[in-house]
Amino acid sequence: MGDAILVEDVHFSYEGVPALRGVSLTIRTGEVLAIMGENGAGKTTLVKHFVGLLKPERGRVLVFGTDTRDASVAQLARRVGLVFQNPDHQLFAESVEGEVLFTLKNMGYPPDKARAICDSILKLFELDRYKDRSPYSLSIGERKRLAIAAVVSYNPDVLVLDEPTAGQDFFNKSKISKLIFKLRMQGKGVVIVTHDVEFASQVADRVVLMAEGRVIREGGAKDVLTDAEALRHARLVLPQIPATAAILEAEGVSLPSKPLLPGTLYLELLELLNHR
């Protein structure tokens, strides 16, 4: 685990309107970071800086030691894979396998190696049976998987997912969380931009809360996602488990810790209700 992306006091405005007002944070490999906040807080603007699509007006962004102002987007993208929110913005090929091959070609993989990677990636994402079909003939969940597959295929060190669970059904959400765990186990860094507090509570190691272009709270998922005040400031709500714990607390029922996950709450309640 090491530092992959360093964001140092970044300021950025769109046509005179400030979008980022002095944001600093660190993305590490082997860790899942959730960047959260309401729409318009600056989350997507921030992650665009990770591949150099946007360059800071003040401050700087270092990607594995390289200042984003000194490298092209293609060079940065080799190490940081960015998957946008809407899959329809990022499907360029005529077939499902063509999509993966297109990406691998751009990233400099020779054709025979690309083919091998393509086959295994499609199998991993359960898209191999569609490999000759047009990407647009797939369902929305499958298109999202394809967009992620294409980016994962070239093995970037950091994967950034913008709102991966928006509009996704339960099956797809589970698949996405399984993928995220797998990538973390492989030592990759994963950044998810989301306002889905439940999903973040399941997958994130660390959470950064943003509001109005600033970072207002940062820390371990367990600390941040149980902090009602900070979440409210970021226009988010407590996930169900900490919300339940908060109600119990208010009614005089104390729990030993601030639980985030159902399992933890269950064990603590087991203790509580069995205790003689």
Partner 1 sequence: MALVDLRHVRFRYTGSDSYALNDVSLSAERGEFILLVGPSGCGKSTLLRVLNGLVPHFYEGEFEGEAKVAGLDVRSTPTHVLARHVGVVFQDPENQLFLSSVEREIAFGLENLGLPRSEVKRRVREVLKEFNLESIKEKAPYELSGGQQQKVAIASVMALEPEILALDEPTANLDPLSALEVLTLVNRLVKEKGVLAFVVEHRLEIALRFTTRMIVMLKGCVAADGGPREVLLKAGKVVGYPPVMLVHVLLKRKGLVGDGVPLTCEELAEEVIAKWAMRYS
Partner 2 sequence: MSKVLDIFRFRRKRTLLHELDPRAKFAMLMALSAASLALSDGVSLAVLLVVEVVLLAVAKALREWGRSLTGLSTLLILIFVLNYLTLPADRLFTATAMALRFLCLTTAFSIFFLTTTADELAAALEVSGVPREYSMMFTMSLRFVPSLARDMQTVVDALRSRGLELEKGGLRERLRNYTYLLVPLIVFELKRSLMVAEALEARGFGAVKKVEPYIELTFKAKDYVVVITSALALLAVAWVLLSGTYSAFIAWLRGIFPRI
By a kind-dependent CB cut-off of 5 to 8 A, residue 39 interacts, out of partner 1, partner 2, none, with partner 1
Q: 97-101: list long-range contacts, CB under 8 Å, 24+ apart.
A: 97/122, 97/131, 97/132, 99/135, 99/146, 99/149, 99/150, 100/149, 100/150, 100/153
Tokens 């900070």 sit at which residue? 230
Q: Give the residue from 55, 51, 101, 99 showing the smallest Cα distance to 77.
A: 51
- Which letter does DSSP use for residue 31 in this model? -
Is residue 243 within the footprint of partner 1 (CB under 8 A)? Answer: yes
Size of the site for partner 2 (CB under 8 A): 26
- 102 counts as binding partner 2 under rule CB under 8 A: yes
**Please, are residues 31 and 192 in contact by the beta-carbon 8 Å criterion?**
no
Cα(first)–Cα(last) distance of the chain, in Å? Answer: 44
Burial bucket for residue 228 (CB in 10 Å: 0-12, 13-18, 19+): middle
Smallest gap, in angstroms, from Cβ of residue 99 to partner 2?
Answer: 9
Residue choice 48, 195, 206, 222 for contact with partner 1 (CB under 8 A): 195
For residue 102, the minimal CB distance to partner 1 (Å) is 25
Q: Would you count residue 257 as binding partner 2 (CB under 8 A)? A: no
Q: Which of 15/251 has CB closer to partner 2?
A: 15
CB closer to partner 2, 86 vs 244: 86
Which residues in this chain contact partner 1 in the complex, by CB under 8 A? Answer: 37-40, 139-141, 166-173, 195-198, 235-237, 239-241, 243-244, 247-248, 251, 253, 261-262, 265-266, 269-270, 272-274
Which residues in this chain contact partner 2 in the complex, by CB under 8 A? Answer: 48, 51, 53, 72-74, 77-78, 81-82, 84, 86, 88-92, 102-103, 106-108, 136, 150-151, 154
